[in-house]
Amino acid sequence: MLFLEDPVRFLFFTGKGGVGKTSIACATAVHLAGSGRSVLLVSTDPASNVGQVFETSIGNTITPVPGVPGLNAVEIDPDSAAEQYRERIIGPVRGVLPEADIASITEQLAGSCTVEVASFNEFTDFLSDSSATAGYDHVIFDTAPTGHTLRLLRLPGDWSGFLDAGGEASCLGPMSGLDKHRQTYANAVAALTDPTRTRLVLVARAQPTSLGEAERTASELAEIGIHATNLVVNAVLPWDAVGDDPLAAAIREREQRALAELSGELASLPRDEIGLKPGNLVGLKALRTLLTRATEVAVASTRDQDRPDLPNLNALVEELAPAGHGLIMCMGKGGVGKTTIAAALAVGLADLGHTVHLTTTDPAAHLDKTISATPELPNLTISRVDPDQAIRDYRAHVMATKGASLDEAGRAALAEDLMSPCNSEIAVFQQFSHLVNRAARSFVVMDTAPTGHTLLLMDTTGAYDRDIRRSMTPGVKFKTPLMRLQDPDYTHIVLVTLPETTPVLEATQLSQDLVRADITPWAWVINQTLSATETTSPLLRRRATFEAEPIRAVKQLTTRLAAVPYLAEEPVGVERLRKLAGQAMVNSEP
């Protein structure tokens, strides 16, 4: 593997959700440790599943990985990091300041911005604090899906620039201590931009959307001085797995066409291709074979299991339609197909004559690659919450309103405060709130960011709700976005997953997080099910045998479930989305 040749100290793996970053990062860590190196594996994904891959408990403290001498791992836990961060601020003044002041400080530290900054500080410590990584030959970062990672990698420069400009992080309350991290941030920037110390590996699948996301990531990182060094294309269907199977032939042809059309910076990067494996990449045995070319496939029978009798997406559309309006949020791990499922639901509702707005809160999503506005469906509109545009609009609005009555010095101070990176979360939340309220008069179908990023948005929603409740006069009726999300007649949460162990576990954890916030998932969708197809490829049939248990697990969690078979054609465009929504997963013999 080219990305493993002469490995540098820091290795970053990033890319669109679901492309296999965690598996490749874990396999790389095992490989390097097996060659006698001392390795630390760090997950910066708020929805980390490193522990699941290693079949052990990792958590937010550096932990030895059983069975791999020389390998330690840690999962940065945003909530734990934020709690420790708050205590470092509040602890020294507890018992010194009046209780009212302590309560005010605590509230100022309750938002998602604090969670982000706390996680960010832990991340930069691993890049710049020699004591945190002393004794390790290599530090490997398994990052969150692209949008979240781009924000994380921008933060060292954003905070350095903000502090260099003399900014005071008023949105964080009494956090002048940020200035103490100035050198840490500067060291992190230096490490990230030095190719002799940091290797940034873009991970993608052989799909146009995934490769396009990798290209966009490379461009955006280059703008801040961080340059991708390698491209890894994961889970490529081997030519000898095709045979005379039409589905396998279609997948192989689609993947090879996408790779042949590579251009720009991606085409010039050293590239590795990792073949699709027959089983789940969980456990040391599987990880040790991931970076090898050998693929052993036990011959599977034509029908290894009965096909579960599950309805299609149109069954969900028919159940949603009578209300005439409402919010439909597709949530889940990155790469499970949330964008496709959201677009198919939107088309289905629009076909029934309803007014539908399809949108995404995923910084890395591109709905226009899946569907575009068409004269055929004039009642369907499409938008995207763009964080960069959101912050520009927010700053302009605040300056035009709050800043209108200030003198020149006051406006200058306000403009400086608005440059704080924290304001990005506020800006995105405002656009999210507008979309939530819009569902009172029409259907709003929302493709959300991967799990970790969405949970941060939910945290902001909860903080806003608490603030409104405190400030409202008793007896006055009001509706906050959180109240809308908690209303089962207004909001329908659709959890999207794949028929694989790890995506189902992560969706289950997300479901539990939502329930704790009094938000009950409405339905589950299992996407890309091979067991619903007539494939004759031994490799694909073998993979289909592993779907039975995850599907059974989902059926125990919900009474409303739909499934979508793996399609030979990429579900792009209105007609293919209609086809996707109408295909049921039913018992039948080939």
User: Which residues are identified as catalytic?
Assistant: 18, 20-23, 45, 502
Say whether 356 sits in a helix, a strand or coil.
strand
Strand order in the sheet with 491-497: 380-382, 356-360, 443-447, 326-331, 491-497, 521-529, 561-565
Strand order in the sheet with 63-64: 63-64, 71-75, 39-43, 138-142, 10-14, 198-205, 230-236, 271-275
* CB neighbour list of residue 415: distance below 8 Å, 6 or more residues apart: 395, 399, 403
State the CB neighbour count (10 A cutoff) for residue 545: 17
Please give the span between the terminal C-alpha atoms of the chain, in angstroms, as a whole number.
Answer: 40
Alpha-carbon distance of 553 to 274, in angstroms, equals 29
Q: Per the structure block, which two tokens stand in for 1?
A: 């593997």
β strands within 123-257, DSSP E: 138-142, 198-205, 230-236
Phi, psi of 548 (to 5 degrees): -60, -50
Helix (H) or strand (E) holding 328: strand 326-331
Contact 105, 89 (CB under 8 A): yes
Say whether 138 sits in a helix, a strand or coil.
strand
Classify strands 71-75 and 63-64 as parallel, antiparallel or unpaired. Answer: antiparallel
State the CB neighbour count (10 A cutoff) for residue 515: 11
Positive or negative CA dihedral for 188, 73, 364, 228? Answer: positive
State the CB neighbour count (10 A cutoff) for residue 147: 22
CA distances (Å), 462 to each of 432, 466, 481, in order? 13, 6, 9
Q: Per the structure block, which two tokens stand in for 119?
A: 């996680």
Give the DSSP letter of residue 557: T
Give the DSSP letter of residue 259: H
Helix%, strand%, coil% for the chain, nearest 5: 50, 15, 35
Alpha-carbon distance of 548 to 526, in angstroms, equals 12
Contact 128, 189 (CB under 8 A): no
Residue type, 153: L
* CB neighbour list of residue 462: distance below 8 Å, 6 or more residues apart: 482, 517
